[in-house]
Each structure stands twice: as structure tokens, then as C-alpha cells.
Amino acid sequence: MNVISYTQLVIKENGKQIQKGMNFAIQKTYSVVLMSTQKNAPYNDQIFDDGVIEYEGHDVPANINPEKKLVDQSLLTPSGTPTENGKFFQAALDYKHGLREPARIQVYRKLRKGIWVDMGFYDLIDAYEKNDQKRKVFKFLLKPKIDLNQDDQEYLDMLHNRQIPGEVQKEVYERDRGKCRICGSSDNLHFDHILPFSKGGSSKVASNIQLLCARHNLKKGAKIINKFKLFITIFSMLFTLSGCLEMEVNQPPNSQTGSTFTSTAEIVFIVDDQVNFGRRMIFAVNKPIGWTINSMTYDSPEHGSGVFDYKGNNDVDPDCQNCGTNENWELELEQNFPSPDGMHWQMYSSDRSEESSSTSENPDTFHVDIDFTVDDNQGSYMLNYFSAFSDLNMADETDDSKYALDSKKNTTEQNTRNWF
């Protein structure tokens, strides 16, 4: 299932410029066919559920009969020599009669102009005539040649890799822009089942198929890189105020549209000696506008468990009495860290204030869970996470100076270890 250019096809075939669809014994040990299952294909090639290809024979040349789609296909040329149909047909008959091993056929499937899918080798096991209501055509059955035990799960997965419909392959290729979904490479690409067939994955929908380069396809092996079916690539950027906080976020690399997923933030806090009052944790996420934060909770060995309340604009959650106390927090974040198009900041604070006696040797630690619901749009998003501590126990909550975020921020750290 390697995606190759026509130039790579020619190189693979030892420099032979393969132009015809059927090429019997073009190499010493095998033949080559070119096929297409796209809607506008000139021949009616099919791939059955068991992976067998029904390959349609080729028409008489236009110089012999311009109405080639209305006349019967032929096994012989006008001079009596076998056509390519005739050569393939005889090889299939000889195999059925026990006179030879099945002919070995290298199959290339057209994806788009100049781009082909290397389908690998098949055995020619049968040939027969068929009437398509206009004329007589020949059909050739090609069985996948896979050197694995048929009871092996890997056999089933390799078999169903070959069954991906042509229209699905084309959609996936265009969606992934002809590049590996993990690293962006355009070399040695393969069509890969995100959820293998042996684990319930489908070959019929583009949402379960992705392009991977050879390195990442092999690295994946039997392990499912992505946990869900329809993918949104997620990255993250971490922001903390200088001097008192360290934060590391873990989140799944992908999520199914319309599904929920949870990100976790591990926060280490060291108290500022200049502050001796109780403080609450501020936590903000920059996310797609259509996504919903269902809940945000924390757990700390030093301070117990609790929840975060939304503290931004009232219209996000009009039923929340404690929400919207000061939308300027989100505006301040927006000024310091502008949102990309389609994204926005949402600001939360912990449900109670705590005094801390933490030190660099014995810091306070917090485990924060952020539960998201994803909308129906596909894309790649950089999620930004911001954390700080602030005194929210103030008599006058209209005093914006008490809420201003420290503009002295550390160099932002892009966490890319787990996002691919």
C-alpha cells in the first residue's frame, strides 16, 4: 500500500515505461497490471470483501475499431497472436488445470494523475467471460499474495489494507495533502488503518484511514497510535508566571469529533516569600470556540480535592451564579497571548483559597483534569494552557488591579513529546 509517483513506479520496474494496463511477463518472474476503481475509470475493476480483485480485460485498440466500448473484447489479434487478454486467460486456465503455479501479478492502482498505490503481489487464479449488457468482456480474478497464516490478525489487517476503496484512498490523500500524518514527510507513504480491521476498524470510511510514512507505519506496528476514529490533531503550549510555578500537560494526540477527552496538568508550586495570604489557583485554556469545557477539577496531596469555577464572560454559562465575576481576566490574557482565529481563552479559578508553606525542597503539587467535548469540525489545533496563583479574597472585586496578570512571563515551552 505504498503511495508512489509514476517515476518511482518506473524505477521500481527496472526502468520500464509501463503504459498499458495489462503487461504479461513484462518481468522475468511476474506480470504487471494497472487498475483503477474510481468512478470515471475506463474499466470496471472491483475489489471484493475478501480482498480478491476482479480485473476487467482490455478493449480492442481504437485503430482496429473506434467503437471499442461496443465490441467484444478479444483473446487474439487480427494476425492470430494472443492479446494481453489471451496471455492472462491462458495462464489462468493452465493454473486451474494444474499445469502451472498461479501467475504472479504486481498490481498498481491509480490514485490520481501521476500518483499510484503499490498494491503488492497477487496470484492469478481464474478467468472467465462476462456479458456487460453491451458486449462480452473478460474478467480475471487476482487473489492477494500474503505470506502469513490466514488465522493471523496481521494477515487480516494486511488484507483489508488492500480493500480500501479508490474513492476513499483519493479522499484520504487529498485530506492529508499527500503527507505523513505524523511527521509531514511526503516520501514512502502508505495507507494505514487507524483502528486495525482486527480490532473493529473499517476500510470503507476515510475517517479510519490515514497516510503514514514507512518509518511511522512500521513503528506503529500493531499498536494503535490514535485512540479514536475521526481525528483532530492536538498540540499544546504551556504558560506559567515566572518564579513560582512549573506545569506539564499531558493530552491525547487526537480526538474523535463530537467526543470527549481529558487533558491533565501536573503543577508544582513554590510559595513566594513576599506573599503571606491565602491564594487561589487561576487556570485558563485557549481552545476552539466550538469546544466545551465540561469540568475542571484538581487534586493535591497538600490541599485536598476541589473544582474550578468559570470566571470569564457570563454568556458562556448564564446559569452559573459564580461565573462572570471579572471578564477582564480573559481580556488580559488575550492581550498577552492573542488567540488564533476560531480560538478563545476561558479562565477559571479554584473553589477556595489556600495558604502555602511550600519550599523548593517540598513544593505543593496539583493534579488538574480538564474535560473537553469536541465539536464536529476537523483540524489541527494548538491548545494553550495558563496557570497562576492570585489573591481573590478581596473586599472590592471591581478593583481590576488585583486581577491583573503578571506580564513577566517565562519563555514559553512547547511540549511536543506526546503530541504525535
What are the pLDDT digits (tens) for 157-213?
A: 555 555 677 778 888 888 888 888 878 888 888 888 777 766 667 777 888 888 888
Of residues 39 and 70, more confidence is placed in: 70
CATH 2.60.40 positions along the chain are: 232-415
Q: pTM to 2 decimals?
A: 0.50
Give residue-wise pLDDT tens across range 317-376.
455 544 444 556 677 778 777 888 888 888 888 887 777 777 766 777 888 889 888 888
- Listed in order, the ranges of the chain carrying CATH 2.30.280.10 are 2-220
State pLDDT tens for residues 279-302. Answer: 778 888 888 888 889 889 988 888
Query: What CATH class does 232-415 carry?
Result: mainly beta
Residue 127 or 227, more confident? 127
- Per-residue H/E/C for the chain: CEEEEHHHHHHHCCCCCCCCCEECCCCCCCEEEEECCCCCCCCCCEECCCCCEEEECCCCCCCCCCCCCCCCCCCECCCCCECHHHHHHHHHHHHHCCCCCCEEEEEEEEEECCEEEEEEEEEEEEEEEEECCCCEEEEEEEEECCCCCCCCHHHHHHHHHCCCCHHHHHHHHHHCCCCCCCCCCCCCEEEEECCCHHHCCCCCCHHHEEEEEHHHHHHHCCCCCCCCCCCEEEEEEEEEECCCEEEEEECCCEECCCCEEEEEEEEEECCCCCCCCCEEEEEEEEEECCCEEEEEEEEECCCEEEEEEECCCHHHCCCCCCCCCCCHHHHHHHHHCCCCCCEEEEEEEECCCECCCCCCCCCEEEEEEEEEECCCCCCEEEEEEEEEEECCCCCCCCCHHHCCCCCCECCCEEECCCCC
CATH class of 2-220: mainly beta
Tens of pLDDT, residue by residue over 83-116, are 999 999 999 999 999 999 999 999 999 988 888 9
